[in-house]
Amino acid sequence: MCQVTLVLGSDGLWDLWAYKELLEYTFKAGLASTQSSVVTSLNLLVEETRKQSEYLFGEDADNICAIMVRFCNVAPAD
């Protein structure tokens, strides 16, 4: 079960979202995340950020860079 999610992002991301709002995208990946569900969630986040930035700032929108890492407990091997 994944317990901690770390989101690193450029100011283009944090200009629009508070960390609490970003949790919506991290939870879309589910608690027992696979690599593909994390990538899908991150893609949704970046695309929504791009749309909002374009709407609010037009051509002055900042670049967007983001990394999402899920830390999960793994049962030790016997």
Report the Cα–Cα distance between both ends of the chain, in Å, rounded.
Answer: 18
For 17-71, what is each residue's pLDDT tens digit? Answer: 888 888 776 666 565 456 777 788 788 888 999 999 999 999 888 899 988 887 7
Alpha-carbon distance of 40 to 49, in angstroms, equals 14
CB 48 within 8 A of CB 60: no
pTM of the complete model: 0.70
